[in-house]
Amino acid sequence: MNRRLALAVMAVAAAGVGVAGEGQSTEVPTPALGGHEIPPHPRQLQFQPSSWSPPRSADSRFDLAGGVNGFLVGDATLPLVDIVVVARAGADRETSDQRGLAQLTAALLRRGGTRDLEPAAFDDRADELGVIMHSQSTPLYGAATLRTTSEALEEGVELLLDMIERPRFDPTRLASIKRNMAEGMTRRNLDPTAVLDREWDWLLYGETHFSTQPLRPSDLERSTSAAVTEFHRRHWRPENLTFAVSGDVDRERLARLVNPRLEAWASRLAAAERFSWPPEPPTGQPRAGLFHVAADIPQAKVALGHRAPPDLPTDEERVRLEVLAEILGGRGAISRLNGRLRSAEGLVYGVELRLDPGDLWPADYRVAFDTLGRNTCLAMSAALEEIERIRSAPPHPEELAVVKRELLARQFQAFDTAEEAVGYLVQDWLVGRSPDYRRRYGALLEQVTPQDVLATARLNLWPEDLTVLIVGPWESSRGNLDAAGVSELERIVGHRVEALPKRDPSTLQPSN
């Protein structure tokens, strides 16, 4: 399930090398050279504190015509402009007989042509202008994007507005896309990581919520051109749109380009229907236990965790949780899980930890790693010990200080480009986070104490309620059996294993 807002504006972060460590280093003198003293140890370097702070959300926010929300972070470094139009037109707007329409509508926006241009002519026009356009969807939103040079901005914006306001939804393209999507469904069991993610979501959230329901062949059959057109008419409306704009453009120029079109569009529409926000949360009860999906690979892909507590956190609690996550399994030097499982034990290439409390409903906390089948018991024990350790004692003040610095620096990094900056601001706004959250972040971080981290760990990490899922070879992963036939892994986890059924890749119904 993609609970994160998959805004195309978010940059891809490279994975860090996570290793644990602590303590002071031995100081070995190094010669001073070239008129500049080289201290014998990096801790003797002196630095000025940074005076940088994130941009104010209110400075970027403005209203466009037709009730459209706008965010703009300007940057003239390159003659390039990015526009992401986010629409509240996700799968939550589908009724039970409309499943897949949000996804198909978003997919067809870019590929299905416009009122004035056949699909192929639209593609050619985009290339003539040198603009790059996409459309896509997540469970909660649809999105259409334009990347253009400043020079082609005017024509590019026209094309973007044509695409979102007057899509053609060409039936031939729709049929082609549906056939490709059906083909894609037949491939859903091939990647063991995708299988792990799918089964994980179903174990924790159930299979019936719009955010975890997969597309099935029968959904495609029902999705006609008329149905897509109707879904677009109801949900891709100006008042449902947010423009996230970054790059070489200012607010006035943007308003001149889009407002007349948005105003005219809004004036032609009937009154909007009312939809509840936020949508209903998943109602499936998480299943604790040990679960296994067979896969013919040398490694066991392991995930362990549980749903987040029922109450969404305050900003203060959210920051404490981030600190906890960074200490337990973050991307920097202080990652106890990576320090233990990778650096000290050599059992894994990396451990991924996600402590996501959720934005609209409780999400989940998950530790995931891949390890050679026969090392699964060792790695599982080590991971559980580290979880227990962080619940047993507060972190060392030095450990906490390093993590705070890392987290604060990641805020800096998040605002390296205008595109990333506007992405964060829009994301905060869409989920209703306080507008000054990014600016208060440093102060909130500073307040976190070792005792806060301990309390947060005890409140949030529940080793007794774990869901443990393994995709891979069971025989080599389970460890030795005792006289009663109970495996070592089952003893470590405290549950007998339940083999999850093989599923037909297209229907995802059990096939055995």
Partner 1 sequence: MHTLGSHPGVTGALLLLLSLVGSVSHSSPTGRLPVEEFELANGMRFLLLERPAMPTIEAGWVVGSGAADDPEGSTGISHFIEHMMFKGTRSVGSHEIDRELTTLDRLAKIEEALAEPSPSGRKAARRRSELESEQAELEQQARNLSQLGAFSLEYSRLGATRLNANTAEDLTLYYVTLPAEVVELWFWLESDRLLQPVFREFKKEQQVVAEERRRRVDSTPTGAADLQFDTNFWRGTSYSKSPLGRPADVSQLRRAEVADFFAQQYRPAGLTAVLVGNFDPGRIKRLAQTYFGRLGSQASSAASVGQAAPTNWEPERSRQEALDLTCECPPQVKIRYPTVPFSHPDQHALQLAAGLLNGRSGRLYRQLVLGQEIAFAAFAQQTPLRYAGSFTVTIEAKGGTSAEALLSAWDEEVARLSAEPPTEAELTRVKRRLATESLNQLKDPHLLMRRLLVYAGLGDWSQLADWTEHISTVRPEAVTDVAERYLNSERRLVGSYRRAKAGE
Q: Which of residues 360-419 bind partner 1 (CB under 8 A)?
A: 370-372, 401-403, 405-406, 408-410, 412-413, 415-417, 419
Q: Is 33 in the site for partner 1 (CB under 8 A)?
A: yes
DSSP 8-state code for residue 374: G
250 belongs to the binding site for partner 1 (CB under 8 A): no
**Among residues 67, 118, 136, 149, the one that binds partner 1 under rule CB under 8 A:** 149
- Shortest separation between residue 21's beta carbon and partner 1, angstroms: 3
Please compute, for residue 353, the number of CA atoms within 13 A of its CA located in the half-sphere on the CB side: 27
Interaction of residue 355 with partner 1, rule CB under 8 A: no
- Interface pattern 417-446 for partner 1 (x via CB under 8 A): x-x---------------------------
Minimum separation from the CB atom of position 62 to partner 1 (A): 21
* Residue among 43 and 115 whose Cβ is closer to partner 1: 43
Q: Which residues pair with 301 in a beta bridge?
A: 370, 471
Eight-class DSSP state of 503:
B
- Please name the residue ranges forming H helices in 41-80: 57-60
Q: Which residues contact 429 (CB under 8 A, 6 or more apart)?
A: 57, 61, 69, 71, 242, 435
Contact partners, residue 444, CB within 8 Å, separation at least 6: 315, 316, 319
Size of the site for partner 1 (CB under 8 A): 100
Q: Is 159 among the residues that bind partner 1 (CB under 8 A)? A: no
CB of 360 to partner 1, least distance (A): 28
167 binds partner 1 (CB under 8 A): no
Tokens 């227990």 found at: 388
Of 229, 259, 343, 476, which one interacts with partner 1 (CB under 8 A)?
A: 343
108 binds partner 1 (CB under 8 A): no
Cβ 475 to partner 1 shortest distance, Å: 16
- Which positions from 218 to 237 touch partner 1 by CB under 8 A, shown as an x/- string? --------------------
User: Which runs of consecutive H residues, i.e. helices, occur in 119-224?
Assistant: 119-129, 153-165, 171-185, 192-205, 217-222
Residue 22 makes contact with partner 1 by CB under 8 A: yes
Q: Does residue 332 interact with partner 1 by CB under 8 A?
A: yes
Q: Which stretch binds partner 1 (CB under 8 A): 129-137, 266-274, 353-361, 430-438?
A: 129-137
Of 273 and 296, which has the nearer Cβ to partner 1?
A: 296
Q: Report the sign of the C-alpha dihedral through residues 233, 239, 240, 241, in that order.
A: positive
**Residue 271 has which token pair?**
């009154």
Give the nearer residue to partner 1 in terms of CB position, either 162 or 490.
Answer: 162
Does position 23 interact with partner 1 (CB under 8 A)? The reply is yes
Binding mask of the shown chain, residues 63 to 102, with x at each position contacting partner 1 by CB under 8 A: ------------x-xxxx----------------------
Q: Give the nearer residue to partner 1 in terms of CB position, either 79 or 510.
A: 79
Q: How far is the CB of 297 from partner 1 (least distance, A)?
A: 4
Binding of partner 1 at residue 48 (CB under 8 A)?
A: yes
Candidates 347, 425, 430, 448; binder of partner 1 (CB under 8 A) is 347
Q: Is 199 in the site for partner 1 (CB under 8 A)?
A: no
Site for partner 1 contains 496 (CB under 8 A): no
Encode 25-52: b = buried (16+ Cβ within 10 Å), e = exposed. eeeeeeeeeeeeeeeeeeeeeeeeeeee
User: 175 or 393, CB closer to partner 1?
Assistant: 175
Tokens of 225: 């051109």
Query: Which parts of 269-308 interact with partner 1 (CB under 8 A)?
Result: 296-299, 301
484 binds partner 1 (CB under 8 A): no
Q: How many CB atoms lie within 10 A of CB 512?
A: 7
Strand partners, 357: none
Residue 315 makes contact with partner 1 by CB under 8 A: no
- Figure out which of the listed residues 2, 25, 267, 507 binds partner 1, where binding follows CB under 8 A: 25
Q: Tell me which of 123, 155, 230, 263 binds partner 1, using CB under 8 A.
A: 123
Return the residues of window 168-187 that contact partner 1 according to CB under 8 A. 176, 179-180, 183-184, 186-187
Beta-carbon count within 10 A of 428 CB = 18
Q: Which among 263, 270, 273 is positioned nearest to 68, based on CA atoms? A: 263
Query: Distance between CA atoms of 211 and 471, rounded to whole angstroms?
Result: 22
Report the DSSP pairing between strands 69-74 and 241-247.
parallel
Q: Judged by CB under 8 A, does residue 499 bind partner 1?
A: no
Only one residue has tokens 């979102």, namely: 164
Q: How far apart are CA 112 and CA 101, in angstroms?
A: 14
Task: Check binding of 509 to partner 1 (CB under 8 A).
Answer: no
The answer to the question of residue 136 lying near partner 1 (CB under 8 A) is no
Sequence-ordered list of residues with C-beta below 8 angstroms from that of 325, at least 6 positions apart, any chain: 353, 354, 355
Which residues, in sequence order, are bridge partners of residue 481? 487
* 3-state SS record for 262-315: HHHHHHCCCCCCCCCCCCCCCCCCCCCEEEEEECCCCEEEEEEEEECCCCCCCH
Q: Is 192 in contact with 472 (CB distance < 8 Å)?
A: yes
